[in-house]
Amino acid sequence: MSQSVTSQSAAKPSQFGRRRLPRWTPAVIALVAVLVGTGVGVGAGLSSHIQWGLIALLLFVVVNYAVTAAVEGPRQAKDRVVTSLVWACFIIAVVPLYSLVESTIAKGVKVLDGNFLTHSMDGVITTGPGGGVYHALVGTVEQVALASLMAVPIGLLTAVYLVEYGRGRLAKAVTFFVDVMTGVPSIVAGLFVLSFWILILGFGYSGFAGSLALAILMIPVVVRSTEEMLKLVPNELREASLALGVPKWRTIIKVVLPTSIGGITTGVMLAVARITGETAPVLLLVFGNQLINFNPFSGAQSSLPYYVYEQYAAGNPASYDRAWAAALVLIAFVMILNLVARGIARWKAPTSSGR
């Protein structure tokens, strides 16, 4: 029975059927385009590989469109063009990222070892090899931790106020200033803390001064992301809790925040990642240090981005190696934080089906 139907439809094209290209067509066209692009590049003596790529890309889009339009029709052709454009954009976006990670790893692993991670620059001549990143790692961890300790509670509470309580003028004003703060450049935050904390109040350079500026940069990011996450919590859950006779503050703590904790964690971690790479406030407020200083509240410290800057500025092969290795440590640090955040988010996220 089913066979007769199949043979029938094969004999007579169905109302909805149409001619289709084989599934491997785009791959073949892409291959041909790359080959032709390379051929043209070599033939015409174009030195830039980017030009080869662009020729191949253009060729791919045009040929793909023409072939599909001829065989499948104009609508399918447009679909193919847009699909290939999206892929092209994705590749263009990924190439620099890949290249960045690749060259950082390639140049960073040269001096990255246990010794590098556990030693400071104490007594190391900048032009010579040796030395390490330990003091900068300590500084980064302490400054970021202090900044997070200040910014996360303030940001969380602000977001809770805006979503759960904020009505009228005050809420609008807070939203406006949070938006403004999002746009504050890090050097401006650094200058503000410099003039207020160090010049007016007279405290010296310290990791804590740096974390003050970092907290200023972090708060708006935390507020914004937390706000969005809290808005996603369905109102029905709040009402369900209130209808049980649960006070509003308990509803927020026990129902609203746990429901959105996954997203909030991700947002906080993105904010942490953002401030971890800040150099300007550290330059102005933490001053930089060759030695290990565990106390963030007094005396100059270093930090990873500052260390990269400092080693690069020293301008000799040994310090370049150290700069790359420190950059790799910085990337790994942020990446590990992100992975941890993802893990927490997945672990804490509400499960819709738990059968």
Partner 1 sequence: MISVAKRIDVSGLSAYYGAHLAIEDISMTVEPRSVTAFIGPSGCGKSTFLRTLNRMHEVVPGGRVEGKVLLDDENLYGAGVDPVTVRRTVGMVFQRPNPFPTMSIYDNVAAGLRLNGVAKRKAELDALVEKSLKGANLWNEVKDRLGKPGAGLSGGQQQRLCIARAIAVEPQVLLMDEPCSALDPISTLAVEDLIGELKERFTIVIVTHNMQQAARVSDRTAFFNLAAVGKPGKLVEIDETQRIFSNPSVQATEDYISGRFG
Tell me, rounded to whole angstroms, the distance of Cα 255 from its chain centroid: 29
Q: What letter would DSSP give residue 301?
A: B
The Cα-based distances of 336 to 162, 167, 313, 330 in angstroms read 31, 39, 28, 10
Under rule CB under 8 A, residue 186 binds partner 1:
no
Under rule CB under 8 A, residue 198 binds partner 1:
no
- Taking the complex as a whole, how short is the minimal distance between the CB of residue 232 and partner 1, in angstroms? 12
Under rule CB under 8 A, residue 353 binds partner 1:
yes
Residue 141, helix vs strand vs coil:
helix
Under rule CB under 8 A, residue 165 binds partner 1:
no
Task: Name the residue nearer to partner 1 (CB basis): 11 or 244.
Answer: 244
- Taking the complex as a whole, how short is the minimal distance between the CB of residue 167 and partner 1, in angstroms? 6
> How many CA atoms are closer than 13 Å to the CA of 267, on its beta-carbon side?
23
Of 241, 265, 302, 303, the one binding partner 1 by CB under 8 A: 241
Task: Name the residue nearer to partner 1 (CB basis): 97 or 244.
Answer: 244
DSSP per-residue codes, 221-278: HHHHHHHHHHHHS-HHHHHHHHHTT--HHHHIIIIIHHHHHHHHHHHHHHHHHHHHT-
Under rule CB under 8 A, residue 246 binds partner 1:
yes
Measure the CA–CA gap between 222 and 156, rounded to whole angstroms: 7
Task: Name the residue nearer to partner 1 (CB basis): 84 or 241.
Answer: 241
Of 1, 11, 200, 243, the one binding partner 1 by CB under 8 A: 243
- Taking the complex as a whole, how short is the minimal distance between the CB of residue 69 and partner 1, in angstroms? 47
Q: What letter would DSSP give residue 162?
A: I
- Taking the complex as a whole, how short is the minimal distance between the CB of residue 172 and partner 1, in angstroms? 14
Of 12, 23, 169, 355, the one binding partner 1 by CB under 8 A: 355
Under rule CB under 8 A, residue 242 binds partner 1:
yes
Of 79, 113, 122, 239, the one binding partner 1 by CB under 8 A: 239
Tell which positions 251-310 bind partner 1, by CB under 8 A: 251, 254-255, 258-259
Under rule CB under 8 A, residue 169 binds partner 1:
no
Under rule CB under 8 A, residue 114 binds partner 1:
no
Task: Name the residue nearer to partner 1 (CB basis): 141 or 257.
Answer: 257
Under rule CB under 8 A, residue 244 binds partner 1:
yes
Residues 6+ apart with CB under 8 A from 338: 269, 270, 273
Residue 350's nearest CA partner among 259, 269, 275 is 259
> How many CA atoms are closer than 13 Å to the CA of 77, on its beta-carbon side?
14
Of 46, 101, 154, 237, the one binding partner 1 by CB under 8 A: 237
Residue 256's nearest CA partner among 188, 166, 156 is 156
Q: Which stretch binds partner 1 (CB under 8 A): 54-62, 94-102, 242-250, 284-292?
A: 242-250
Measure the CA–CA gap between 343 and 222, rounded to whole angstroms: 19
Residues 6+ apart with CB under 8 A from 302: 135, 136, 139, 282, 286, 288, 289, 290, 310
Task: Name the residue nearer to partner 1 (CB basis): 78 or 250.
Answer: 250
Residue 112, helix vs strand vs coil:
coil
Tell which positions 331-350 bind partner 1, by CB under 8 A: 350
| Site residues for partner 1 per CB under 8 A | 167, 234, 236-247, 250-251, 254-255, 258-259, 350-355
